[in-house]
Amino acid sequence: MGSKLYVGNLNYRVGDADLERTFAAYGTVKSAQVVMDRATGRSRGFGFVEMGSDQEAQAAIAGLNGKEMDGRNLMVNEARPPERRGGSGGGGRRY
């Protein structure tokens, strides 16, 4: 188990500070970040929280997964490492 958590189904109004306050009830929050869309600057509806320990992360999952925050039921689980995207890139046509 890692101490980094994925938080999904966030209301688009939720910011980093809101996320940090919510998770602080379960332990030390090392970082809390809502992922923003590069093009629009709007929240993408999910984020990541890093807790101080694995035990605190487990407590946050148990306490917050499925709970309501700003009118939406949170989805909280252990963050997975990003998937590698295959392919060589390029994508241009060759004649």
The confidence score (pLDDT) of residue 83 equals 79
How does pLDDT run across 22-50, given as a tens digit for each residue?
A: 999 999 999 999 999 999 999 999 999 99
92 has a pLDDT exceeding 80? no
Q: 56-73 pLDDT, tens per residue?
A: 999 999 999 999 999 999
Q: Would you state the pLDDT for residue 94?
A: 55
Average pLDDT of the residues of the chain: 91
Strand partners, 72: 69
Please report the domains of the chain, with CATH numbers, ordered by start residue: 4-76 (3.30.70.330)
Starting at the earlier edge strand, list the strands of the sheet with 29-36. Answer: 29-36, 43-51, 4-8, 75-78
